[in-house]
Structure 1
Amino acid sequence: MKKTAWACLFASLFSLPPQAMAFDLGGALKDAVEKNAGDLINNKNSNDADTTPANPEANSLASINWKSPSRDEEIKLGREIAGNLLGAAPLVKNPALQQYVNRVGRWVASQSERSDLPWHFGVIDSDDINAFAAPGGYVLITKGLYKRLQNEAQLAGVLGHEIAHIVQKHQLKVLQKQQLLSLGAGLLSGKVAKGNQTIEKVIGSGAEISARSLDKDAEYEADRMGLILAARAGYDPYGLPEVLSGLEDISSNDGSIALLFKTHPAPEERLAALGAATAKSGNLPTGKTLEKRLLPLP
C-alpha cells in the first residue's frame, strides 16, 4: 500500500496513549526447555558490555507472587525464559550486529511507559522469519527476519512490536492465568509442586508462550503500539507496515515462515487492523528511514 494511503489510515494512531511473531525452530525449542539452558547472553556470543548474564539462582523465582509479580520477579522470569529459547538457537556471533540492534531497540523502548526495564535485544542464528518477546525486557529476532529489512526504520518497527508485548505484559498475563489456575487445581487435589519443580514448569511454559501465538487482539495491539513507538523515536512510521507488506509476498508453504503464518494473523489482516484503528485522517509525522545505517549481515 502506498504511503499516501497509509497517511490517511494511520494518522490518528499517534493520539493514542503509550502503553514475537513466533519462534520454534522445529523440535529445538522443546529440547532446549527440557535441558533448561542456563545463560541468556554470554560473552562468548556477544561482547556487548551492556548485556547482563542470566542469574543462575532460579530458586528466587520459586515463590513468585503470581497475583501481582514484582518488577524484579518479571525480569528474572523473562531472563530464564529467554535463556531456554537461546538454548534452541544461539545468538549470531557478530558483536557489532548485537550492539547495533541493542542501540536501536533501547532507543525505541525509551519511548514507552516501561523505559526503566533493563532492555536486552539480540539476533539469533536462524533462517526462520520470526521474533519473540519474553517478560521483563528480552527481545530476540531471527537472522532470517533481519536479512529482509531494508532500513533502520523497519528494524525499529519490528522491535517496537515486540517491545509493545512486554510493555502490555501480554505473555506475562498468560503465564499468570495459567499458574493461578494450576495452583488452584493443585490446592483442590492436594498436590502442589514446590521449589525447583514449580519454576522449571513455569520457565518451560513461558518459553512455549513466548514462542507461540497470543490472541489476535494482543498482536493487533502490539502492531499499533510498535508503529507508534517507532514514530516517537523519530523513525519513518511506515517501517512496520512495509515489513508486513513484504511478508504478504511469501508463500505460506515456505518453511521459513510457516510457523509465523500458523501462529499469527495473516499479514493482510494485520495491515487491515492497523488501518481500521484509525479514527480520523491526516498526515503522519515525518520520520527517518536511515537505509545507510542498517548494519549489513552476510
Structure 2
Amino acid sequence: MRKLLLLSLFIFSVVNVYSKGALYVQNPKAKLLAEPQMNAEGSLLPLGEKLTPITEQGLFVQVRTNEKTGWVSKLFVSPLPPSSQIQLGSKSQSVEAVVARQRASDFTKTAAARGLSETEKMRVRGGADLYDFESLRWLESLGTESKVDTNQTNGTSSTAFAKPEERKVGSVSEETKAEVKVGRSLAARLLRKYPLWKNKDFTVYLGQVGKQIASNSSRPELSFTFGVLDTEEVNAFACPGGFILITKGALKNIRSESELAGVLGHEIGHVALFHSGEFIQNNVYLDIISSLLSPPGAEVVNQTTANLLDEMEKQLFESGRDSQAEYEADEAGVVYAGSTGYGVAGLSNYLISLSKLDKADTLKKTHPDTSSRIAKLVKAEATAQIKNVPSPKERWYRYKAFLN
C-alpha cells in the first residue's frame, strides 16, 4: 500500500499530462488538422507555438490557436515548453557535477557514521547489486558518435529539428532533469539485471538509427540513448528520459531496418507520450542525486526513490503498461518510422514474426494480444503520411552479423 501511495505521488495519469495547461509545438511536421487523423488536410504550425487544448481523441488533441480550432497529433506536441537539449556523459566540472559528487561523498560519510558495512554503503549509494551505472556511463559516452548523419541513415533527406538557433528555447526544465535522473536509475537497474552488450560498432549504428527517429518526436530536449542487452530474451524497454534498451534476442528476429525503425519508434513513443508520467523536481519525496553529467561515484538513489523504481521495474516485467498506452506507442512507431522515411509496415511485420516465437513470454505477458495489435497497426498504416519507402537491407544485415 505504501509503494502504491509513493507511486501516485510521482506519476500522473497519461490523460492529465495532455489535459492540463498549454501544449507547445515541438516538431516541424506538426499540423493543425481538420480531422483527428494523420492524413487529414491541415496547415503547418510554427515550432514553439503555444496551443490551448480543448478535448482529446486517441492520439490527437483538439486545440485552439490564433482564433483557429483544429486537431494536432500528440506525437508532435508536448506539455513542456521548448528548452535546450540535455547533455549526458560530459566530464566537465559544472556546478551540478560538483554538487552531485559532494552530496554523494556526504551521503557515504553519513552511512559510515551509522556503522554500515562497505556493501551496505554501496547499496545506499546506488551501486553494488542493484544498479550498474558504470555500464550506463559507457553507453552515454558513445552519444557524440551516435549523432545523426544523414549520409549514414536510410538515404532520405534529414527530417531533424531546426537548428537550435532557429528555435526559441530556454534552459533545460526542472521536470526534464528529474525525468532523466529517474530514467538513468531505472536503466542502471536493467543493466544490472541484464549485462550491457558492449559492441561499439553496433551500438553506434543503433544510436544513429534511433536518434534519427527520435528527432521526429516531440522531445528534442532529450538526448536519447540506445543500448543492447546481452540476453536471448525477446524484449525492449523504454525508460523515462529517453533511455531505450533492446535485447539481442529481439534484434536477431528483426529482418530489416524498417522493422528496427518500427520497434524503436514504439519505445520512443512511450517516452514522447509521457507513459511513465511527469516527474516534478522539487517534490519533497523525489530526492535523487544522480548527476546528468555522470561523474563516477556521483549517483545516489535514496530508499524512497528505490521504492518508486521497484514499481516501475515491476510494470516492465510483470504488470505491463495500460493496453491503451501500448496501442498508442504502436501507432507512434508507425508515424515516427514513416516520418523518418522508412516503410510504415515495419512494426506490424515484426509483430507477425514475433507471434510465432516461444522466447517472448515476458513481452507477450506485458503487452496486449499480438493479433489485436497487428489489426490496429494496419489501420494506422492506412492513414500514415509516408508509405513503402525502401530501406537499405544490406546495411542492416551487415550490422546484424555482429549479433551472432
TM-score surpassing 0.5?
yes
Structure in which a larger fraction of residues adopt helix: 1
Q: How many angstroms does 1:18 deviate by?
A: 4.7
Q: 1:162 aligns with which of 254, 267, 278?
A: 267
Q: Which moves more between the two structures, 221-230 or 287-296?
A: 287-296
Q: Specify which of 220, 225, 237 is matched with residue 332 of structure 2.
A: 225
CA 1:14 to 1:153, structure 2 compared with 1: closer, same or farther past 3 Å?
Answer: farther
Higher relative contact order (CA 8 A, sep 6+): 1
Contact 2:334 2:380 in 1 (8 A): no
2:205 maps to amino acid? Y
- Residue 114 (1) aligns with residue 216 (2): no
Cα deviation, residue 274, structure 1: 2.3
Q: Is the 8 A contact 1:46 1:98 kept in 2?
A: no
2:194 counterpart of 1:89: yes
Equivalence for 1:149: 254
> Are positions 1:234 and 2:326 aligned together?
no
Alpha-carbon displacement from aligned partner over 1:156-198 (angstroms, at most 9, x marks no partner): 110000000000111235x89xx99x99xxxxxxxxxxx8221
Matched, 1:215 2:322: yes
In the alignment, structure 2 segments of 5+ residues that lack a partner are: 1-36, 41-59, 61-72, 76-125, 147-172, 287-300
Query: What are the ranges of 5 or more consecutive residues in structure 1 without an aligned counterpart?
Result: 1-11, 20-31, 53-67, 184-194
Q: Which structure is higher in strand share?
A: 2
Aligned residues: 239
Whether 1:135 aligns to 2:249 is no
Residue 75 of structure 1 aligns to a residue whose secondary structure is helix
Q: 1:209 offset after TM fit, Å?
A: 2.6
SS at match of 2:244: strand
CA displacement 1:239-275 (0-9 Å, x = unmatched): 111101111222xxx2x21111111112211011223
What code does the residue aligned with 1:204 have?
D
Per mean C-alpha deviation after superposition, the further-off stretch among 136-145 and 196-205 is 196-205
Describe the superposition over 1:30-79 as per-residue Cα deviations: whole angstroms up to 9, x where unpaired. xx999321405243x78725389xxxxxxxxxxxxxxx971100011100
Q: What TM-score results when the alignment is normalised by the length of structure 1?
A: 0.71
Show the counterpart of 2:297. Answer: none
Q: Which residue of 2 aligns with 1:41?
A: 136
Post-superposition Cα deviations, 1:212-249, rounded to whole Å, max 9, x if no partner, equal 41011000000001110011001111111110111122
Structure number with bigger Rg: 2
Query: 1:9: which partner in 2?
Result: none
Match of 2:391 in 1: 289
Aligned with 2:255: secondary structure? coil
The answer on 1:100 being equivalent to 2:205 is: yes
Question: Residue 257 of structure 1 corresponds to which residue in structure 2?
Answer: 360
Deviation at 1:281, TM superposition (A): 6.5
Quickly say closer, same or farther: Cα 1:87–1:151, change in 2 above 3 A: same
Q: Identify the match of residue 126 of structure 1 among 213, 227, 231.
A: 231
Report the 3-state secondary structure (helix = DSSP H, G, I; strand = E; otherwise coil) of the residue aligned with 2:246.
strand
Return the offset for 1:289: 2.2
Aligned in 2, Cα 1:144/1:269: closer, same or farther, shift over 3 Å? same
The 1:145/1:233 distance shift into structure 2, 3 A limit, reads: same
Q: Summarize deviations over 1:70-97 as a string: whole Å, max 9, x none.
A: 1100011100010001101112131111
Assess if the C-alpha contact under 8 Å between 1:33 and 1:85 holds in 2: no
Identity rate, percent: 33
Describe the shift of the 1:172–1:50 C-alpha distance in structure 2 as closer, same or farther (beyond 3 A).
farther
Residue identity opposite 1:268 in structure 2: S
The Cα offsets for residues 125-163 of structure 1, whole Å up to 9 and x where unpaired, read as 010110010000000111000001111111111000000
Aligned-residue offset at 1:115: 2.2
CA contact (8 A) 2:262 2:346 kept: yes
